[in-house]
Every structure is written in C-alpha cells, then in structure tokens.
Amino acid sequence: QLNLLLPHPTLHYPAPSRPPKHRSSQQARGALAQQLYLSIFGHSAYSSLPFFHQFVKKSEKARKVAHAVLHVESMIGALPVHEGKILYMGCIDPHLIYGSEVAIDASKALMDQFVNVQLAFFRRLLGLSKTSIRVAIYTETGIIPLQFRWLNLPLRALAYFLSRPTNTFVRAALNESIDLDSAGKKSWFKGLKDVINTLCPHYELPDNTTLCSASDSTVLGDFNKAIQTAVTTWISDELNRVSKRSYLLQIRQEPQENGRLKYHISCSSAKPVSCQSSQSIQLMLWSALDEIQNPRHRKALTRLITGDHSLAVVRLTWSDNHRLQVPHEQRLCRFCTQEVEAPEHALLQCPHQALVDLRASFWRDFKSLHPQGLTYTTVMDQPTYVAYLASCRPTFAVLAKWVFEVLKIYDGTPLLIPREFLRDSRSR
C-alpha cells in the first residue's frame, strides 16, 4: 500500500523531451528527479547508477561510525578483536549493507568505497598497516568479504519474493523485472544476474520462465553453499596472489579441543608454497587473538604472520624517494648480513647476541609451558616451524612477547640497503 501513497513518481531513466503526465487521487503529479523512499535515496540524473547517492551517503555514514567505534580506544585502551568484531557487526555492517537487496547495481568503484571502510576498520583493530595484504583481514577475523554479503542478501530477497502469492505487489514487481530481462532491458533481476556472473559464476539461476511460474524458493537450490564455495575460492586465489607474504598464513594451524592441530585455512601443502585446497578453507577468528592479552604483543605477532612486519624481506619490496626496489636475494639481515632478513631468520637463525639471548629465554619458557612441544633443530624447515609455534595454544602469549621484542631490536637499527639501490649514493 505504501506505493499508492507516494505523491510523486520518480524517473529512473533519461528524462524525455516531453515529461509524462501522472495522476494520483485525481490530481496531476509531476515527476521528480530524486526521491527518498524507505531511506533509500534514488536520483534519475544517474541513469546507469540511480542509487549513486545512496552508495556515497551510506559509505560516508559507515566511515563516521567506524571512527566513533575506534575512538573508544582513547578511553579503554586497545579494543580486543572479538569485541571489535561484535561492534562492527552491530554498528558498522548495517550501514554497509543497507539497501543491498535493492541497490545491486554498484560499480566496482562504488563498491570499493564500502570495502575500504571494512578494510580500514579491521586493519586498525588488528594493528596492520594500509599496505597489509587484504585477504589477511578475512582469514584472521572470520569476517565475510563485503562483496559476497552484497550477493547473498539479494538472493535471500529473491527467495522471499518467490514465496509471495502472485497477487501481491512484490511478486508482481519481480515478475515484471524478469520480463524486462527477457526483453533485453535493464532491470533489478538483470543486475542480480550480472553480479552472480561476476562473483559466483558456478551458480546458475533457473530460466526466466521457471522463475515466473515458481510458487516457492526451492527452485533456487542451495545458493548459500554456492556463495560459500565462491568465498573460499576467492580467498585461495588471493592467498596465491600474495604468496610471498602469506606463506606463514597458509601453513599456520589452529589448535583443536582434542589437542590436535588443523590448518587454520586448511591448505594441503606442508611447505610455504601456494594454497591448494580452497574447498576446505574455514573463516574463523584466529584463537591467538583471544588468548594474547597484551595488545602490543598481539599486534606484533599478527603483523609477523600476515607479512606486514618491518623486516627487510617486506620493507625492501617497494621503492621510495631514497631507494629502488631491492631484489629478494639481496634483502639481507641488517645484523649478520648473511641471509635474507625474513621472520624465520630473525627468530631462529640470526647470531646477533641480543637475539640469541631472547631466543634462549623463549626456549626455556616454551618447554616449561608446553613440555610436549617440538624442539627446533637446524634440519627442520624454518618457515614450517615458525608456523608451528604460531599454532601452539599454551605458548601464544610468550611467543607474541618474543616476536615483539625481536622486532623491537630490528626496528632500532636501520635497514641494510646495498649502495647500488640508493637513488643518490653521495648523500649517504
């Protein structure tokens, strides 16, 4: 009935030279260029993206709410990750998904505005930098990538529309949208099909005739499972794309209640190469984020595991005003200058005395807290053992403290940059 009460129609296509005449309750009503309908702002000036202003306004609102939530840290200190995730879902996520069942025609640039709010919030919560790998946000917190939320909600809406009787407005609107798609014209249903083809190409909707005649949503099949498969495939592809920084993520395991270890993102490979088993990826909050109470230690370990640390193997990946990009094999340790300065070298191998002392102290604590734990030997694969340490629940806290202190020592000494990669060697 709400549609009948609207005093003026709104055009969602280029305005004709002669405006159409509309009458409501025996009164002429002029067409409006913009309209606020159920808090969703539409504008006819953007014929290809009628909800352009809706995206802009909601992304701005979500960003302001995210800043307000994070501002609580100035009063209580660092916000725990679990509680931060709850606040995100309750305060920020509603703005990021508002109207997604209707406004599904977002361009990539507009969708990126929403995704950037999600990324910025969780990077701040986890203590990661703006240059951290995006996929780490999802593997460490268990949050669903926003673009897939924007696919799931319209499909749920479609399931509801199909369950309504044919004499209701919503079902009539759906059938008309499907008919427009059949005629090769733009419609809500056409936009939904485009999004499915982009994000979830292995899922197919029934043909238009079947949908128009359907009396319930069973014809859609299990679209939730299809979306979950698409999410795991996307995460697997992202991990492979940034494998030089995500190799510890791929082989890190999650301690189970029975004492066994299970791959946190369930990659089948036992070595730091590419993720092979996308179907077994399970998004969940990394248990260490709850176990480690000291926020500085927790953030240091998170940065190390996600490849967002300050060691040369990452920092010398980029060029800046003072240096060129340094090849991987020349990103040497600033102390021993013998091996590539990577997490496994800094923790297990570097002979710098301060690091040796910290290493000895950690081994004592490790054996005391976890007597059954594996003892490191030089024949072991170093990245695999570092990932193993990040999988031992009894020693999460002492491991995080050790990582924090090791990175602090490295941060106190400038990077070792070969002179041939300095932009102006004479200034050094």
Domain ranges of the chain: 2-126, 150-229, 242-420
* Average pLDDT of the residues in 286-306: 95
Q: Yes or no: say if 334 and 413 are a contact pair by the CB < 8 Å rule.
A: yes
Long-range contacts of 284-288 (CB under 8 A, 24+ apart): 284/142, 284/254, 285/81, 285/82, 285/85, 285/140, 285/141, 285/142, 286/139, 286/140, 286/141, 286/254, 287/254, 287/255, 287/393, 287/396, 288/390, 288/393, 288/396, 288/400
Least confident of 8-12, 76-80, 272-276: 272-276
Indicate the pTM of the whole model: 0.84
* Average pLDDT of the residues in 144-164: 95
Separation of first and last alpha carbons in the chain: 76
| Residue 267 confidence (pLDDT) | 39
Residue 320: what are its φ and ψ, rounded to 5°?
A: -145, -165
Range with the largest mean pLDDT of 250-254, 261-265, 284-288, 334-338: 334-338
| Residue 321 confidence (pLDDT) | 86
Look at 24 and 340; give whichever has higher pLDDT: 340
Mean pLDDT for the chain?
85
CA atoms within 13 A on the CB side of 97: 20
* pLDDT exceeds cutoff 50 at 45: no
Q: What does the pLDDT look like over 228-257, one tens digit per residue? A: 999 999 999 999 999 999 999 999 888 776
**Per-residue 3-state assignment (H helix, E strand, C coil) for 207-269:** CHHHHHHCCCHHHHCCHHHHHHHHHHHHHHHHHHHCHHHHHHHHHCEEECCCCCEEECCCCCC
* Average pLDDT of the residues in 159-174: 94
